[in-house]
Amino acid sequence: MSSFIAGLPKAELHVHHVGSASPRIVSELAERHPGTVPSDPALLKDFFAFRDFAHFIEVYLAVVDLVRTPEDVRYLTYEIGRELAEGQAVRYAELTCTPYTSVLPDDPDRGMPIEAYTEAIEDARVAAERDFGLVLRWIYDIPGESGLPAADATLRFALDHAPEGLVAFGLGGPEIGVPRGQFVPHFAAARAAGLHSVPHAGETTGPETIWTSLRDLGAERIGHGTSAAADPALLAYLAENRIPLEVCPSSNVATRAVASLAEHPLPVFVEAGVVVTINSDDPPMFGTTLNREYEIAADLLGLDEAGVAELARAGVGASFAPDDVKVRLVGEIDGYVGAGV
């Protein structure tokens, strides 16, 4: 099964830009900007050992601080593309970017112009497709812990400086103490501009956060949605309306959103008829890969190779890829399965 999954063409829909920086990439960035993050890859495992979600955010922001120049952004993005394509057979990815933490509009001496940020990710996107055959698209993400100023800035970046690959508008960071309702105007404006709505919800809070995201933010997919398992009416709504959950099992354990993989609600979602996609979130920080997340899902759901391939098709179907890309990717999956690899 591991060999089958490793070669299976896949889409990745819930993966963070900075959070995808592998030890190799972090080491290079830490060499460029010496400070609190160790540059020795051997020490990064301990650095990435999270106590809880709050500690994860602390460590994540320390890595964010290493991405200081347009050259850093371009290097990070291109190398993420390399690792997704070459190591995991990812053919399409929607990378969640948080431009606010690189542009730093309230601290221009430390930040970079949004124009430079946009040029860097777009240059890397074009190069990654040319060199690795990976189609990249962007989700611009409000860092919830930074409040309304960050939301205002992220919306401005999305509307006034939109990169060509931008497809969606998101909301991440801590959920506790960050009510989703305050971002209603931002999501309304983004949706009016044609962007899809993909907030995180129900990872470390209850089902009501998911309901709020659906009702008030127009969510078309839910990032994590772990607590939906506690609300049968919500599960029925998600299933009936074909609203996918972006499931990230290892992440949920690492951040203590669930106690163990054995207790993960993925089987509950599938039994309720909810569309699920399998994703890696911040894979190097959680000691995982998309391949490993598929292995976990196969184990939790008792899937054979045909069932795992169906998960891959679900990822393509739930994506915001152009129709021709979706057709091509499903064809690749079918061809891979048909070849009996």
Active-site residue identified among 203, 220, 246, 293: 203
φ and ψ of 12, to 5 deg: -120, 120
Q: In terms of Cα–Cα distance, which of 121, 89, 110, 65 is closest to 10? A: 89
Tell me the pTM.
0.94
Mean pLDDT, rounded, for 264-288 = 95
pLDDT above 90 (res 182)? yes
Cα-Cα-Cα-Cα torsion 111, 115, 120, 123, nearest 10 degrees, comes to 180
* The token pair that represents 114 in the structure block: 């949004």
**To 10 degrees, what angle do helices 207-217 and 232-240 make?**
40
pLDDT above 90 (res 216)? yes
> If DSSP codes are grouped into helix, strand and coil, which group holds residue 224?
strand
pLDDT at 341: 59
* The token pair that represents 243 in the structure block: 């609203």
pLDDT at 153: 97
pLDDT tens digit string along 103-124? 987 777 788 999 999 999 999 9
pLDDT above 70 (res 142)? yes
Cα dihedral sign for 251, 256, 261, 264? Answer: negative
pLDDT above 80 (res 200)? yes
* Domain with residues 2-338, CATH architecture: Alpha-Beta Barrel (3.20)
Residue 332 pLDDT level (bands cut at 50, 70, 90) = very high
Amino acid, res. 179: P
* The token pair that represents 172 in the structure block: 């991440």
pLDDT tens digit string along 92-101? 999 999 999 9
Q: Which residue has the tokens 């899902």?
A: 297
pLDDT at 71: 96
pLDDT at 254: 87
In 3-state terms the chain splits into helix, strand, coil percentages (rounded to 5) of: 55, 15, 30
> CA-CA distances (angstroms) from residue 143 to 13, 117, 190, 207, 324?
18, 17, 16, 21, 32
| Residue 192 C-beta-side C-alpha neighbours within 13 Å | 8
Q: In terms of Cα–Cα distance, which of 208, 203, 199 is closest to 231? A: 208
Annotated catalytic residue 12 = no
Nearest-angstrom CA–CA distance, 71 and 120: 7
| Residue 73 C-beta-side C-alpha neighbours within 13 Å | 25
Nearest-angstrom CA–CA distance, 224 and 207: 11
Amino acid, res. 195: L
